[in-house]
Structure 1
Amino acid sequence: MTTKYRFRDKYRIQLREKDHPPPHVHPTGGGVDVMLSLETIEVMMGKARPLIIKEAQASVAAHQVQLLEDWKRCCP
């Protein structure tokens, strides 16, 4: 599990090596564990406060190209 980005001090965007398709990341921390699609940046699974989801989506959107490249490299 690799933390790629942090937001609000206690939240992380994680890419889990050898994870299952479709391409996604896990915003975690502070009791949150959500799956966000790297293609649509929508919640695939899990729940969190709407503000946390929006901030996670903004972080993923800002780094979407790099995250997709990282996904392809570690989750063939």
Structure 2
Amino acid sequence: MPTISAFYGILIKMYFQDHAPPHFHALYADAEALIDIRTLTVIEGQLPRRANALVLEWAQEHRAELMEDWKLCEMRQAPRKIRPLP
């Protein structure tokens, strides 16, 4: 599962040929959440409140890039890195 971004101890990853809906995995310490790219809602799992807020802020800024990476993963191509939060 390629890591496409990392910031404040949070890893953002995508699986090759993962199931719909388009989503990414956010990992922080022992917590993991799957975030729907289109709606930016948690579809599975849970993150601490602050980590979740940072992930959603980042995803809002990079939604188009996330969709491009999702399409690459669907085709079993390596996703591109996405700039982290400053």
- In the alignment, which residue of structure 2 is the partner of 1:11? 10
Q: Given that residues 28 and 47 in structure 2 are in contact (C-alpha distance below 8 angstroms), is that contact kept between their aligned partners in structure 1?
A: no
| Residue 5 of structure 1: how far off its partner (Å) | 1.0
CA distance in 1: counterparts of 2:16 and 2:28, whole angstroms:
18
Look up the equivalent residue of 2:2 and give its one-letter code: T
| Residue 29 of structure 1: how far off its partner (Å) | 3.1
- TM-score (structure 2 length as normaliser): 0.80
Unaligned runs of 5+ in 1: none
User: 5 Å matches for 1:36-75?
Assistant: 36-75=35-74
Structure with more relative contact order (C-alpha pairs < 8 Å, separation 6 or more): 2
CA distance in 2: counterparts of 1:70 and 1:41, whole angstroms:
15
Structure 1 segments, 4+ long, off by >2 Å, are none
SS in 2 for 1:51: helix
- TM-score (structure 1 length as normaliser): 0.89
CA distance in 2: counterparts of 1:29 and 1:17, whole angstroms:
21
CA distance in 1: counterparts of 2:40 and 2:7, whole angstroms:
16
- In the alignment, which residue of structure 1 is the partner of 2:83? none
> Please, what is the CA RMSD of the aligned residues?
1.1
Unaligned runs of 5+ in 2: 76-86
| Residue 12 of structure 1: how far off its partner (Å) | 0.6
